[in-house]
A and B are shown apart, each in its own frame.
Chain A
């Protein structure tokens, strides 16, 4: 039988996590519910982190936006700061789940539970976000690239440099109207495409076990390449990536359509930049 602890501070939570090897943090409980439904074995101890003040804040400090890992997707989508500074992230939060799930699912849960398949992961990577992790004993690791989770540490918050590149594109391919995990998600940011030094980021999730950086497609986008060239570059980005084959779509299908949605995301980003 699993136990639940309800620490009142981050320090206590880290102690609770350290005390039992299989302990897991729990916030919105969406991942737990899914694992239970799928009959997967559960942790011996759950440590409730959803109400910890350190994980609940959305704050702007000069040129950085910090978002706590226990902020719900609904709060993320509704936050004026997020909507103004990083509309890509607000868009991804709305797309990621239905309204009921958004009220309970958290940013951290989404990132940690579904490293290869999260809409928010794609958005944050395209925004160049960095993570703050805390280890048992209170050791903080700042500025960790988001696609590199830190083993047994607890995700505390993500930090995004603002303002981000003005051009952004979000494409989520789903095969039914709602309620689906994505078949593929692509996020692109573009800055300074007209004059100045062009820059940007492009990432895909739900296409492989880990997020896939779309460097060639981004380079083509920055170089103002034609549609076919962007699609060819995205195809090259997939290279020897082992593409996911699951009940939603075959690997062949994902390979075929990824270039299409990359090109569409680039078009969106170009229009906005």
Chain B
């Protein structure tokens, strides 16, 4: 294998020296994404995928394909075995092989990589590879997969339970007996596609025993560690670089293509690039389908006596993020309410679906769809306004979550009030309502919902700030820009902490050989966690600069004053610019390092750690119009309010909040991904219906709420990537139920389901009238 220097591939990817120019380039479509990476002598890869959802892989016939023009190699499980990698596993539970070796577990599982001189040669040869599978009986639904006679998806396991998260608090039987009314419901969410415009991309190259990877990963540090482990390399021998991403939405969390592309590159001795086609995206990762059974009791005053829920998740064939999804949904399903007694069981189940992974909202959307619709149903049954019911039951700061743990910083009430207030303001502007044509019959109604989501706790982020001889500061982190604006946020945090103009900041993009560890750019944590690491690095950098200036001027640090760009000796008047000191320093730079770990606080009574170092908090209110002839729902106005703590970049915060609502419209109204025989029923963006601009409410108002930081703690800069999303579907569902009288319980809220709810409402929805389903 020969060394091939990245050279041109890095141009424009490595750093952002001019944030304003970068913003203009982004709007004009001039920035280059991961999909634009290229290396000299690069070959292209195309995947051969399993046509069957389950079975023994008898072999693959590559005779025709390997003779095709331009084909360099067809890499398969046999090669893995020869290289001693047949048993190598990666992923959330280290359950995923680099390529299927002896079994296939879902339609679309990679079984071979065709490497060719060009993309079309690779693609057409891949279509000529014949995969021979001795098919076995698949299992697609979690309830079927839990039966004792079900086939076991992951060999070597006793059953199909991937994980089981349970939590109980309080005396549930006693609370049940106190309840004046008890409500039981069942709600479901289907699979969905993250559908970032840029698909998964990976380019890998080996040289001098080092592996260099350009990837669309949201967590380069983890991917680098997994690659090092898989291929038996020192951690420092793997470099993972992440150019700007054309969207991710959780789908690019966890390693996926990187191991097999790295392996194909190693086997061919060439840099190899793989770009998922759109259809590939639909079998690479999905949102976890979930069925939620939820029970709530209320007393005579309309206060919760208890809530309990069981969530059954469909993990698909491999774990990816399934364990944290089950936990996140489990924590959120009962909502941010005062609940004296509670229990949740959240069970993640292996099936022969393509693997479920992170999806913006990480399991909380599926949970809130159930929990927040049931809250409305209870309010309706009690004859109480749903907003007032929530106001009476929502947690305040210092109260305890249903788990029993304290919530130090609760703002759901403010979020709810702000969402409702903005919706009122929007109505007064009176631009939202689409005029009904003369022959349409529209019914209009309002719905609200609140959302709570944890952030990964504990988790670690590191940052390096490097003062250069030219006076500029490099902000080095492994936070990934996927369109959410993290580069601007981190540059602002650094500039503010250093009291320097933003223009002096240079943002260095993730490159594990150059940027320090970060757990992941997900969980809406970068602004908070990486921001705090940057702030800590700024404090350290100022100390290091003071030390260096002190040595340079020969005066103790406590005699130095900062005067603009210079440090001056308070007594002698001599001064020097830190940049000049940096220029003379080893490497021509002075480094400040910062680390942030959000260790969970412990409950003073129990000593137990809290589930999340803080909670993402939001509320959404919508006005909908339902065409009762066709069941088509239009969201005419939407308002959202999310707790931000402290807003770093106001335009970016607004875009995140608006993006939350718009993104949330899709799974609420349109998006569903079914796998009737294991293969996706839809695998293109013509039939997979994302929301369009014509679906966005004319009135869309959002607010990022700010408040003072808590004493003795780092500034609370909350991320805003997911604070509103989980509330969108239940808010729309609640509005539709109010409009038509019956309730849609399965996502998406399709016109057909709305008509069924209308029919149910016309006779009085039996399930809404009674307490049970």
Docked-complex contact A38 and B684, CB < 8 angstroms: yes
Number of residues from B at the complex interface, CB < 8 A: 30
Q: Within 8 Å CB of B763, what residues of A? A: none
For residue A22, CB closer than 8 A to chain B, the reply is no
- Rounded to whole Å, the gap between the CB of A232 and the closest CB of chain B is 15
Closest to A98 in B: B692
Docked-complex contact A181 and B751, CB < 8 angstroms: no
Which of A50-58, A195-203, A207-215, A243-251 lies on the face that meets chain B?
A: A243-251
Q: Given A177-B695, A267-B439, A37 and B689 touching (CB < 8 A)?
A: no
Docked-complex contact B684 and A249, CB < 8 angstroms: no
For residue B440, CB closer than 8 A to chain A, the reply is yes
Docked-complex contact B439 and A180, CB < 8 angstroms: no
Which of A79-87, A156-164, A258-266 lies on the face that meets chain B?
A: A258-266
Q: Within 8 Å CB of B751, what residues of A? A: 175, 249, 253, 257
Q: Within 8 Å CB of A264, what residues of B? A: 437, 439-440, 629
Docked-complex contact A176 and B669, CB < 8 angstroms: yes
B682, B688, B695, B752: the one within 8 Å of A249 (CB): B752
- Rounded to whole Å, the gap between the CB of A236 and the closest CB of chain B is 18
Docked-complex contact A37 and B694, CB < 8 angstroms: no
For residue A112, CB closer than 8 A to chain B, the reply is no
Q: In the complex, what distance in Å separates the CA atom of A247 from the CA atom of B682?
A: 7
For residue B693, CB closer than 8 A to chain A, the reply is yes
**Interface of chain B residues 678 through 710 with chain A (CB within 8 A):** 681-682, 684, 686-689, 691-696
Docked-complex contact B694 and A177, CB < 8 angstroms: yes
Q: In the complex, what distance in Å separates the CA atom of A247 from the CA atom of B684?
A: 11
Closest to B684 in A: A37
Docked-complex contact B681 and A247, CB < 8 angstroms: yes
Please report the number of residue pairs spanning A and B whose Cβ atoms sit closer than 8 angstroms: 72
Q: Within 8 Å CB of B696, what residues of A? A: 177
Most buried by A among B437, B629, B669, B695: B629
A37, A180, A247, A252: the one within 8 Å of B752 (CB): A252
**Interface of chain B residues 629 through 681 with chain A (CB within 8 A):** 629-632, 634, 669-670, 681
Q: Given A37-B278, A175-B670, A253-B755, A260 and B684 touching (CB < 8 A)?
A: no
For residue A173, CB closer than 8 A to chain B, the reply is yes
Q: In the complex, what distance in Å separates the CA atom of A257 from the CA atom of B440?
A: 13
Q: Given A261-B630, A267-B439, A176 and B752 touching (CB < 8 A)?
A: no
For residue A242, CB closer than 8 A to chain B, the reply is no
Q: In the complex, what distance in Å separates the CA atom of A62 from the CA atom of B485?
A: 61
Docked-complex contact B686 and A256, CB < 8 angstroms: no
Docked-complex contact B694 and A267, CB < 8 angstroms: no
B438, B686, B693: the one within 8 Å of A267 (CB): B438
Closest to B279 in A: A39
For residue B293, CB closer than 8 A to chain A, the reply is no
- Rounded to whole Å, the gap between the CB of A263 and the closest CB of chain B is 7
Closest to B750 in A: A175
Closest to B670 in A: A176
- Rounded to whole Å, the gap between the CB of B432 and the closest CB of chain A is 14
- Rounded to whole Å, the gap between the CB of B331 and the closest CB of chain A is 32
Q: Within 8 Å CB of A173, what residues of B? A: 630, 632
A37, A176, A247, A252: the one within 8 Å of B692 (CB): A176
Q: In the complex, what distance in Å separates the CA atom of A271 from the CA atom of B438?
A: 10
Docked-complex contact A247 and B440, CB < 8 angstroms: no
- Rounded to whole Å, the gap between the CB of B170 and the closest CB of chain A is 44
Q: In the complex, what distance in Å separates the CA atom of A179 from the CA atom of B696?
A: 13
Docked-complex contact A180 and B755, CB < 8 angstroms: no
Q: In the complex, what distance in Å separates the CA atom of A252 from the CA atom of B750?
A: 13
Q: Within 8 Å CB of B629, what residues of A? A: 257, 260-261, 264
Q: Within 8 Å CB of B687, what residues of A? A: 246-248
- Rounded to whole Å, the gap between the CB of A245 and the closest CB of chain B is 11
For residue A2, CB closer than 8 A to chain B, the reply is no
Q: In the complex, what distance in Å separates the CA atom of A179 from the CA atom of B686?
A: 8
A175, A177, A263: the one within 8 Å of B439 (CB): A263
Docked-complex contact B755 and A175, CB < 8 angstroms: no
Q: Within 8 Å CB of A39, what residues of B? A: 279
- Rounded to whole Å, the gap between the CB of A97 and the closest CB of chain B is 12
Q: Given A39-B279, A176-B669, A247-B682, A257 and B631 touching (CB < 8 A)?
A: yes
Closest to A174 in B: B632
Q: Within 8 Å CB of B682, what residues of A? A: 247
For residue A268, CB closer than 8 A to chain B, the reply is yes
Q: Within 8 Å CB of A248, what residues of B? A: 687, 689
For residue A61, CB closer than 8 A to chain B, the reply is no
Q: Given A252-B752, A257-B631, A176 and B684 touching (CB < 8 A)?
A: no
Q: In the complex, what distance in Å separates the CA atom of A264 from the CA atom of B632?
A: 15
- Rounded to whole Å, the gap between the CB of A172 and the closest CB of chain B is 11
For residue A178, CB closer than 8 A to chain B, the reply is yes
Q: Within 8 Å CB of B755, what residues of A? A: 253, 256-257
Mark B residues whose CB is within 8 Å of A: 278-279, 437-440, 629-632, 634, 669-670, 681-682, 684, 686-689, 691-696, 750-752, 755
**CB pairs A–B below 8 angstroms (19 shown):** A34-B686, A37-B686, A38-B684, A39-B279, A173-B632, A175-B689, A175-B750, A176-B670, A176-B691, A177-B693, A177-B695, A177-B696, A247-B687, A249-B750, A253-B752, A257-B630, A257-B755, A264-B439, A264-B440
Known A177-B696, A263-B439; 14 more pairs at CB < 8 Å: A37-B278, A175-B689, A175-B750, A176-B669, A176-B689, A177-B691, A177-B695, A179-B694, A247-B681, A247-B687, A248-B689, A253-B752, A260-B630, A271-B438
Mark A residues whose CB is within 8 Å of B: 34, 37-39, 173, 175-181, 246-250, 252-253, 256-257, 260-261, 263-264, 267-268, 271
Nearest 6 CB-CB pairs, A to B? A177-B694, A178-B694, A177-B695, A260-B629, A253-B752, A178-B692
